Amino acid sequence: MNVPVDSLSDLVVERVGFGIFVLDREMNVLMWNRFMQDHSGLSQEQVVGKSLFTHFPELPRVWLSRKIESVFQLGSFAFSSWEQRPYLFKFDHDRPITGGVDFMQQDLTFMPLMRDREVVAVANGKKR
């Protein structure tokens, strides 16, 4: 069986057990994986092409915009630990009995996506 690499990559992104979403410089959502759909209650069709703040006005706009802009300007990864900021999205945690916290704690990785040596988007991976 010879499955195209693109198809396998898409399957991994969709099925991985943590959230992945991609933003452009204007904070518009370019990609929203199944984890994000399941935990936010918003489908890819509802979110992609719109500002992240349209559906999530409670997000820390200034902090997040600075974090994303630093990745665009420097072309390097940026990080945020749950110890610095316990969560970005107020998702219910998946350990309601043993969790002892109100929302899913999230570690964030902001990764530059480059094309021709220019950052064209930022991918965000999250979960703890």
Question: What is the pLDDT, as a whole number, of residue 18?
Answer: 80
Right CATH for 5-126 from 3.40.50.2020, 3.30.450.20, 3.30.365.10, 3.50.50.60: 3.30.450.20
Question: What is the pLDDT, as a whole number, of residue 94?
Answer: 64
Q: Predicted confidence band at 128 (pLDDT cuts at 50, 70, 90)?
A: low
6-32 pLDDT tens trace = 687 787 777 777 888 999 999 999 999
Question: What is the pLDDT, as a whole number, of residue 62?
Answer: 94
Cα 53 to Cα 56: distance, rounded to the nearest angstrom? 5
Cα 60 to Cα 71: distance, rounded to the nearest angstrom? 17
Token pair belonging to 12: 């991994």
Question: What is the pLDDT, as a whole number, of residue 16?
Answer: 74
66-125 pLDDT tens trace = 999 999 999 999 888 776 765 666 666 666 555 556 766 778 888 999 998 888 888 777
Please state the domain extents for the chain.
5-126
Cα dihedral: 114, 22, 18, 64 (round 10):
100
